[in-house]
Amino acid sequence: MNEEQSKKTGQAGIPSDISSMSEFEDLSAAFSQLFGVIKKLSDTSDRERAETNARALQAAFESGNKYKAKELIRILEESVGRIQALIAIDRCIGIPDGPV
């Protein structure tokens, strides 16, 4: 990977607008918390759907697809609510709420 590519993606494919290690660690913790909350969902089909959407959110975020990530956050909020983990992930995406 050359220096220009490194500037665009940063660590582990995370978009470089996550500028500090602290933000990266916060984001990692946010995804861990999200998956932890999902595992506690009592309805199996809701849990499986939420796990699929959370994995898709992580992939969309890592690939830089901010609008897809924003859409998946909205979907996940229906399953788990507006929890702190989703707020943190949403904040890292860096686009305002509104029509997608």
* More confident call, 96 vs 6: 96
**Does the pLDDT of residue 77 top 80, yes or no?**
yes
In this structure, is residue 77 part of a structural domain?
Answer: yes
Q: Is 83 inside any structural domain?
A: yes
Q: How many domains does the chain have?
A: 1
Domain limits for position 89: 43-94
Measured between alpha carbons, how far is 70 from 90 in angstroms, rounded to an integer? 7
Q: Is residue 67 part of a domain?
A: yes
Q: Retrieve residue 51's tokens.
A: 């796990």
In the chain, % of residues over pLDDT 70: 72
> Is residue 8 within 8 Å of 63, Cβ to Cβ?
no
37 inside domain: no
Give a yes or no: residue 2 inside a domain: no
Is 15 a member of any domain?
no
Instruction: Express each pLDDT in 24-69 by its tens digit.
Output: 578 889 999 999 999 999 999 999 999 999 999 999 999 999 999 9
Find where tokens 């707020």 sit: 87
b/e map 51-89, b = 16+ CB within 10 Å: bebbebbbebbeebbbebbbbbbeebeebbeeeebbebb
In this structure, are residues 57 and 89 in contact, taking their beta carbons and an 8 Å threshold?
yes
